[in-house]
Structure 1
Amino acid sequence: MSIDTDAQFTDVYRAHYEDVLRFVRRRAHPMNVDDIVGETFLAAWRRRRELPENPRAWLFGAARNVMLNADRGMRRQSALVVHIQQATLIGCHEPAADATDQVDSRIDLVAAWQCLIPADQEVLALHVWEGLEARDAATVLGCTRAAYAMRLTRAKRRLAGLLSPAAQASPALSLTN
């Protein structure tokens, strides 16, 4: 897909800006989000004649590279950490046991998520939050579709293992650690 005019690039920008913004917000410190998104679209502008027909996965990959480059000096892996908001319990009234069960399940999920290595978090996030097909997720990570599929399978197994009743009894999932 060769982009030859400003109008064509504007169309690509408008079509994918929100997706790229959400992608970056989940992975970067809030103060850095605008800069990362801006650098991502600057890279897209510079390579506008080389963009694929559907540039969404390419843009995610470019955003990921911007984040990795920004954090490489301090902590290489920190660019892959996905931030999830924990449920706020302040001011909640317990209307039913179901709500308590939901909160307990969410706390267990948060604890299990935090026990995963950043690479597992990233693979699962691309699958669940971004809704990418294996081919596109592999493009984001810079690997083959088969390698991505294997990483996803392993990450799912590790998360499921952390959520199993036996794993929940272990001190590794304690929220006080």
Structure 2
Amino acid sequence: MPIENEDRFTEVYRAHYEDVLRFVRRRAHPMNVDDIVGETFLTAWRRRREVPEDPRPWLFGTARKLMLNAGRGMRRRSALAVRVRQGGYGTGPGGARVPLVDPTAYADSRLDLAAAWQSLADADQEVLALHVWEQLSAKDAAKVLGCTRAAYAMRLTRARRRLAALLDAPAASSPALAPTH
């Protein structure tokens, strides 16, 4: 249903503002986030008769185009880069803090994932981010990217394979990290 009046626009804005904000925060430089989100909703207002029944993918697509077309700074390459969490500890006997997992192995695996993510092409990062972070269906993600559902599914499959290949690569391939005996 197109946006026919200000009340309907307000409903759309309230329902989707946080999602669009999160979507843009993961991709744009922090100084540009508010401008991009504001421009996305301004575009929605200006093109209100074109906004589809389910506006979320349309809003994501509009925000994506604004980011690409405006060239607003460096996109955050670490959109899905995994941060080493500060937690990882539970409570042992007498209230002592004990690791839930081997903290070194946990940190190493997280760093491997972050490095693999950084090695992916921007297009692979974007496809995976739409799937993992935005939790869009293939149909909706395809709308965001401006491609068919089948093309999106193929891109996602290929991006997953490339990420898996990077994670399966032997750690010894980095001389600086190779163990010394």
Shorter-normalised TM range: 0.7 to 0.9
Deviation per residue, 1:60-115 (Å, 9 max, x gap): 0000001001218x8xxx547453463266xx9x8327151322221111011001
Deviation per residue, 1:24-73 (Å, 9 max, x gap): 0000000000000000001100111111110100000000001001218x
Query: Are 1:134 and 1:148, in contact at CA under 8 Å, matched by a contact in 2?
Result: yes
Unaligned runs of 5+ in 1: none
Unaligned runs of 5+ in 2: 90-96
Deviation of 1:2 after TM superposition, in Å, equals 1.7
| Identity between Structure 1 and Structure 2 (%) | 66
Deviation of 1:168 after TM superposition, in Å, equals 3.0
- Write the letter of the residue equivalent to 1:4: E
- Counterpart selection for 2:125 from 117, 121, 126: 121
Specify whether residues 114 and 71 from structure 1 end up closer, same or farther in structure 2 by C-alpha distance, changes over 3 A only: same
User: What corresponds to 2:94 in structure 1?
Assistant: none
Q: Which has the larger radius of gyration?
A: 2
Q: Cα RMSD over matched residues? A: 2.6
The aligned runs of 1:130-141 (5 Å cut-off) are 130-141=134-145
User: What corresponds to 1:57 in structure 2?
Assistant: 57
Specify whether residues 170 and 41 from structure 1 end up closer, same or farther in structure 2 by C-alpha distance, changes over 3 A only: same
The aligned runs of 1:17-166 (5 Å cut-off) are 17-71=17-71, 78-79=74-75, 81-83=77-79, 84=81, 86-87=83-84, 95-96=98-99, 98-100=101-103, 101-164=105-168, 166=169
Deviation of 1:170 after TM superposition, in Å, equals 2.0
Alignment length, in residue pairs? 168
